[in-house]
């Protein structure tokens, strides 16, 4: 493991270890492994955190989104408006219903859905909008809710990266018709395996998701609709219940880390993340935009600092999405930032020393870069201004 990993959950586990192992032991002693007391309790407890009436535990976030869409009546022939700058699971869930994803570009500052582009994409086939609360930052929901109301559309929040985030004081998970969460291990609230949850205030959607996740049935061997095996298991639910009370403090730690990074990186050429004034951002990821991104990533790797790119190829340009009919150039902000973004280490147990070390390495990289390029430019013919030279002069003024 690198000296500073992108995510390290070992430290989080240590103080919880006895309790978690105790709960796992209890589940195994009881041998009630599915849809038992822990799943039911977690559904209530997590729905509470989201300000939602119902929570339905499912096998992972992709299934949460898929079943939420299905419960909202989305199916073949429908169109669902979403973003391309997201993890592919958002698109998979839409495609799995038989609907077609329609992509809008993102806001260049927040990296969430550019709401101003949504209305122009609405057709007679549009049935739903899936905003993604990417990196832990809620999308701008109120104008979207107004649009959905005007056009009779459903809103399904992709909140897989945003446990505990809020929009204008309202928690994500209760802002649309339904919301999907992932408990993938590295999420702000993560299981030690797979897990997910649908939250909703709509009793009918809750009932449908409950059936869909369990082979379309409410009563054993009585199948009302075609569903799936999409249940959350008791062991994961028991683990998540131990962790849930810490979510708020872990999110607070992430927010403090982000503020410290912002402060330390302010005098470098990178663009630090911007939290919209109306959100409580929970920094699932801390994503900067960086000149010479790939070189910076390699430099940090050499200095034993792990980073990630979330995500290097926009969904509309993935081979898997070729049948949706999008071409390069159609979503310029999404396409541009895919080449510039870099996720720096971010997890609750990151230390101020780690953050300082990462920021120092970023600063050193640009210092060396500027020196190297200006040395080279002194020996080159005048007039041969390359892109990197032009970039270097804009970078140089930071030092
Ligand atoms: C934005 C987004 N949507 C959906 C998912 C799917 O969640 P899961 O991996 O639990 O299926 C993820 C998680 O990776 C995600 O980040």
Residues 293-339 have pLDDT tens digits of 999 999 999 999 999 999 999 999 999 999 999 999 999 999 999 99
Q: Does residue 233 have its Cβ closer than 6 Å to ligand 1?
A: no
Residues 1-51 have pLDDT tens digits of 889 999 999 999 999 999 999 999 999 999 999 999 999 999 999 999 999
Mean pLDDT of the 89-116 span: 98
Residues 178-187 have pLDDT tens digits of 999 999 999 9
> In ligand 1, which atom is closest to the CA atom of 182?
10
> pTM for this structure?
0.95
Q: Is the pLDDT of residue 384 over 50?
A: no
Torsion of CA 317, 321, 322, 327, to 10 degrees: -30
- ∠ CA 174-52-144, rounded to 5°: 10
Residues 139-189 have pLDDT tens digits of 999 999 999 999 999 999 999 999 999 999 999 999 999 999 999 999 999
| Best residue for ligand 1 mutational test, from 111, 181, 182, 186 (most atoms within 8 Å of Cβ) | 182
Distance (Å, whole) CA 92 – CA 315:
10
pLDDT for 326: 97
Give distance in angstroms: CA of 234 to centre of ligand 1.
Answer: 21
Residue matched to tokens 């298991």: 233
Q: Are strands 222-223 and 217-219 parallel, antiparallel or unpaired?
A: antiparallel
Give distance in angstroms: CA of 150 to centre of ligand 1.
Answer: 29
Give distance in angstroms: CA of 96 to centre of ligand 1.
Answer: 15
pLDDT for 370: 81
Q: Does residue 132 have its Cβ closer than 6 Å to ligand 1?
A: yes
Q: Does residue 174 have its Cβ closer than 6 Å to ligand 1?
A: no
Distance (Å, whole) CA 280 – CA 297:
28
Mean pLDDT of the 190-209 span: 98
Torsion sign, CA atoms 132, 144, 287, 395: positive
Q: Does residue 311 have its Cβ closer than 6 Å to ligand 1?
A: no
Residues 213-268 have pLDDT tens digits of 999 999 999 999 999 999 999 999 999 999 999 999 999 999 999 999 999 999 99
Q: Does residue 61 have its Cβ closer than 6 Å to ligand 1?
A: yes
Task: Kindly report the average pLDDT of the chain as a whole number.
Answer: 95
pLDDT for 392: 57
Give distance in angstroms: CA of 252 to centre of ligand 1.
Answer: 22
Give distance in angstroms: CA of 63 to centre of ligand 1.
Answer: 9
Q: How far is CA 161 from the centre of its chain?
A: 3
Q: What are phi and psi of 257, to 5 degrees?
A: -60, -45
> In ligand 1, which atom is closest to the CA atom of 183?
10
Facing residues of 4 across strands? 305
pLDDT for 385: 44
Q: Is the pLDDT of residue 394 over 90?
A: no
Q: Is the pLDDT of residue 110 over 60?
A: yes
Domains and CATH numbers, the chain: 9-104+111-246 (3.40.640.10), 247-396 (3.90.1150.10)
Residues 48-67 have pLDDT tens digits of 999 999 999 999 999 999 99
Give distance in angstroms: CA of 354 to centre of ligand 1.
Answer: 27
Q: Name the residue among 202, 205, 156 with its Cα closest to residue 181.
A: 156
> In ligand 1, which atom is closest to the CA atom of 63?
11
How large a percentage of the chain has pLDDT more than 90? 92
Give distance in angstroms: CA of 87 to centre of ligand 1.
Answer: 6
Give distance in angstroms: CA of 29 to centre of ligand 1.
Answer: 32
Q: Does residue 60 have its Cβ closer than 6 Å to ligand 1?
A: yes
pLDDT for 128: 98
* 3-class DSSP state of 138: coil
Q: Does residue 87 have its Cβ closer than 6 Å to ligand 1?
A: yes
Mean pLDDT of the 79-85 span: 98
Give distance in angstroms: CA of 183 to centre of ligand 1.
Answer: 8
Give distance in angstroms: CA of 187 to centre of ligand 1.
Answer: 9
Q: Does residue 90 have its Cβ closer than 6 Å to ligand 1?
A: yes
> In ligand 1, which atom is closest to the CA atom of 62?
11
Q: Is the pLDDT of residue 122 over 80?
A: yes
More confident position, 387 or 119: 119
């Amino acid at each position: 493991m690198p000296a500073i990993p992108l995510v390290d959950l070992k430290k989080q586990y240590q103080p919880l270890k006895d309790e978690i192992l105790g709960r796992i032991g209890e589940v195994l002693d009881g041998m009630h492994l599915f849809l038992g007391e822990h799943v039911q309790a977690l559904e209530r407890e997590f729905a509470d955190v989201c300000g939602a009436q119902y929570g339905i535990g499912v096998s992972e976030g992709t299934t949460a989104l898929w079943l939420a869409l299905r419960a909202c009546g989305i199916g073949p022939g429908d169109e669902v408006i979403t973003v391309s700058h997201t993890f592919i699971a958002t698109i998979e869930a839409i495609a799995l219903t038989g609907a077609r994803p329609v992509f809008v570009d993102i806001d260049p500052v927040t990296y969430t859905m550019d709401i101003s582009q949504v209305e122009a994409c609405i057709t007679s086939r549009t049935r739903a909008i899936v905003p993604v609360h990417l990196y832990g930052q809620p999308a701008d929901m109120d104008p979207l809710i107004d649009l959905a109301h005007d056009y009779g559309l459903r809103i399904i929040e992709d909140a897989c990266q945003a446990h505990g985030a809020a929009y204008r004081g309202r928690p994500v998970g209760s802002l649309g018709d339904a919301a999907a969460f992932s408990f993938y291990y590295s999420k702000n609230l993560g299981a030690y395996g797979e897990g997910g949850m649908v939250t909703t205030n709509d009793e009918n959607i809750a009932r449908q998701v409950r059936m869909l996740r369990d082979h379309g049935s409410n009563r054993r061997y009585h199948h009302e609709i075609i569903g799936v095996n999409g249940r959350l298991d008791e062991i994961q639910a028991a683990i998540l219940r131990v962790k849930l009370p810490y979510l708020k403090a872990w999110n607070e730690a992430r927010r403090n880390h982000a503020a410290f990074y912002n402060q330390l990186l302010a005098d470098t050429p990178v663009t630090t993340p911007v939290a919209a004034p109306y959100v409580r951002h929970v920094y699932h990821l801390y994503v900067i935009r960086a000149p010479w991104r790939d070189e910076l990533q390699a430099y940090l790797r050499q200095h034993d600092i792990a980073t990630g790119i979330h995500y290097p190829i926009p969904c509309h340009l993935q081979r898997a999405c070729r049948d949706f009919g999008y071409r390069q150039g159609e979503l310029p902000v999404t396409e541009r930032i895919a080449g510039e973004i870099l996720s720096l280490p971010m997890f609750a147990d990151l230390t101020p020393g780690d953050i300082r070390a990462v920021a120092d390495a970023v600063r050193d990289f640009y210092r060396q870069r500027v020196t190297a390029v200006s040395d080279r430019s002194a020996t080159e013919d005048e007039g041969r201004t390359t892109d990197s030279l032009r970039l270097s002069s804009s970078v140089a003024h930071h030092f």
